Amino acid sequence: MTHRQFARAAGAVHYLYGALMVCFLLLPLLAMTPISLSAGSFLSYPLPGFSTQWYQRVFSPGPWLDSLRNSLVVGVCSTLIATVLGTLAAFAFARRNLPARRTLLGFLMAPMIVPPVITGLGMYFLFSRIGLTASLPGLVIAHAVLSTPFVVITVTATLQQFDMGLLRAAYSLGASPVRAFFTVVVPIVMSGIVSGALFAFITSFDEVVVAIFIGGPGQRTLPRQMFDGIRDTIDPSIIAMSTFLMVVAAVALTLSAWLSQRAAPVQRPQDPGSST
């Protein structure tokens, strides 16, 4: 077997393994999706008929729509905070002259490593002392803390290919640090910022453990409403909302992948030996 044939065979095995893993992860979810269109009143196969009654129920005025509105408000607000803080932190780490860089990076990554129960319990004791429990601002701050590491990772990966000489050139032309950041850095790493914001929004939109600790009855988010529904009674309305969440996550991940591919030619470093 030649080297080219071996490379082709290895590539085929690689793609086959990837396809099998995707099927392994997605088929259980797709198998439950048709139940959201069931005409019955409980979860069952085979379906007694098809109906959109459960989608009409979850998107009609009531607990489901209220929780969806809370999730959108908390998700958007926490994403804005996490995107700003995560982008600035990633830029600071990319300068490579930050004291105690590894310690600070580990501190920022802690919300991704520490179990959510411990994080939620710690936030509960802290927020209860400053009056942020059972409040929308408290839930926004908690979700921003959980979402910021995803922005830091994504923007840091994008900044690895950024040429800091562009900033020095902007400084030499009279631009202030703030102006150079917004006119030079932000346009080049915008794909990483948007991708990080999408991951931050998905993290906030899907979080349930911290919402149970921090949120009150008036701050019931969509995942918490689904958790309470599974605990009390199970009907196809939960599957309908789960299908909606899967669609939102799929659209966000597809957009993130598209942005990454689109930005790839911009981030590719030039060959110093190439002729002009």
The pLDDT tens digits of the residues spanning 141-185 come to: 999 999 999 999 888 888 887 777 888 888 888 888 888 888 888
What's the pLDDT score for residue 141?
Answer: 93
CB contact set of 136 (below 8 Å; sequence gap of 6+): 70, 73, 74, 218, 219
Query: What is the band of 100 on the pLDDT scale with cuts at 50, 70, 90?
Result: confident
In the chain the first and final C-alpha atoms are separated, in Å, by 41
Query: What is the band of 24 on the pLDDT scale with cuts at 50, 70, 90?
Result: confident
- 175-226 per-position pLDDT tens digit: 888 888 888 888 888 888 888 898 899 888 888 888 888 888 888 888 888 8
Report residue 50: phi and psi, to 5°.
-110, 140
What's the pLDDT score for residue 268?
Answer: 43
pLDDT at 269 over 50: no
CB 206 within 8 A of CB 245: yes
What is the SS3 assignment for 145-195? HHHHHHHHHHHHHHHCCCCCHHHHHHHHCCCCHHHHHHHHHHHHCHHHHHH
CB 123 within 8 A of CB 213: yes
CB 214 within 8 A of CB 127: yes
Residue 89 has a CB neighbour count (10 Å cut-off) of: 20
Region 235-261 average pLDDT: 78
CB contact set of 190 (below 8 Å; sequence gap of 6+): 263
The Cα 101–Cα 92 span in angstroms is: 9
Query: What is the band of 1 on the pLDDT scale with cuts at 50, 70, 90?
Result: low
The Cα 30–Cα 241 span in angstroms is: 14
CB 236 within 8 A of CB 43: yes
pLDDT at 273 over 60: no
CB 224 within 8 A of CB 14: no
Whose CA is closest to 113, among 58, 150, 164? Answer: 150
CB 193 within 8 A of CB 263: no
- 25-64 per-position pLDDT tens digit: 878 777 778 877 877 777 777 777 787 888 888 888 888 8
Name which residue leads in pLDDT, 79 or 92. Answer: 79
pLDDT at 233 over 70: no
Query: What is the band of 272 on the pLDDT scale with cuts at 50, 70, 90?
Result: very low
The Cα 39–Cα 152 span in angstroms is: 45
Q: Which domains does the chain have, with CATH numbers?
A: 11-51 (no CATH), 57-264 (1.10.3720.10)
